[in-house]
Amino acid sequence: MAGTAMNEIARFALTLLPVAAFLSLTGCDRQASGAAEPPLAGAAIGASFALTDQDGKVVKDSDLKGRYRLIYFGYTFCPDVCPVSTQRLMQGYRLLEKADPAAAGKIQPIFISVDPERDTPAVLKQFVGNFHPKLIGLTGTPDQIAAVAKGYGVYYRKAGEPGAKDYLMDHSDVSYLMGPDGAPIALVPQNGTPEAIEAVLAQWVK
């Protein structure tokens, strides 16, 4: 089982290598030319969705039209990575709120669960409430989550013995800044400092 999981992760990582190389090269080009094109401009990232928020209300991607979206995929039962990444993202967002309230007001932070079996609206409500009052937590059926994760290029799978209730989720640790039209703009360094996160948001949110 462990070998199979590692093989799946390796195959997924290989599919990202061309994208990583592309972003690296285009980043060098932008530095040399001074162009202001977003790093993810033209990338096939994003998906339409109709998911359920922490208050039990359906939220559609079309409801967010006109707003930037700071999107992170994770799960509330995650013992370390997800809460730390979410905390850093919201710390960076709070810095932007202080420095430029108008820009911060254009952003909708979103946490999308990759563990819909356990992440009910009530569970999400407690989780997102720990980080920021504007943070929306979204869940849905397994098929709904699979579809939106695929659209965003997010890998996830249940780890552990089949049927176990106490399990972990292997998943991509990635955050996206999406534009008011739903187009991808940039990756946000959720593993970086709050200052680095604020810098990315401040650079692209106009």
The stretches of the chain forming alpha helices (DSSP H) are 2-33, 81-99, 101-104, 121-128, 142-151, 194-204
Tell me, yes or no, whether 86 and 112 share the same domain: yes
Tell me, yes or no, whether 124 and 61 share the same domain: yes
The whole-number pLDDT of residue 75 equals: 97
- Give the DSSP H or E segment for 51: strand 50-53
Tell me, yes or no, whether 21 and 88 share the same domain: no
Number of domains in the chain: 2
Strands 156-159 and 175-178: unpaired
Q: What is the pTM of this model?
A: 0.82
Tell me, yes or no, whether 23 and 92 share the same domain: no
Tell me which residue has tokens 């692209």.
204
The whole-number pLDDT of residue 180 equals: 97
Handedness of CA 170, 172, 174, 175 (dihedral sign): negative
- Is residue 22 over pLDDT 50? no
Tell me, yes or no, whether 183 and 121 share the same domain: yes
Tell me, yes or no, whether 62 and 118 share the same domain: yes
Tell me, yes or no, whether 88 and 152 share the same domain: yes
- Is residue 25 over pLDDT 90? no
- Is residue 1 over pLDDT 70? no
Q: Contact, 60 vs 50, CB < 8 A?
A: yes
Name the DSSP class of 34. Answer: -
Tell me, yes or no, whether 46 and 108 share the same domain: yes
Tell me, yes or no, whether 58 and 118 share the same domain: yes
Q: pLDDT digits over 103-123, tens only?
A: 999 999 999 999 999 999 999
The whole-number pLDDT of residue 160 equals: 76
Q: How far apart are CA 201 and CA 52, in angstroms?
A: 26
- Is residue 11 over pLDDT 50? no
- CATH number where 183 lies: 3.40.30.10
CA-based nearest residue to 44, from 148, 144, 152: 152
Tell me, yes or no, whether 80 and 2 share the same domain: no
Phi, psi of 52 (to 5 degrees): -105, 130
Q: pLDDT digits over 52-88, tens only?
A: 999 999 999 999 999 999 999 999 999 999 999 999 9
Indicate the SS3 state at residue 147: helix
Tell me, yes or no, whether 20 and 104 share the same domain: no
For the residues 4-20, what does the mean pLDDT come to?
40
Domain range for 89: 39-204
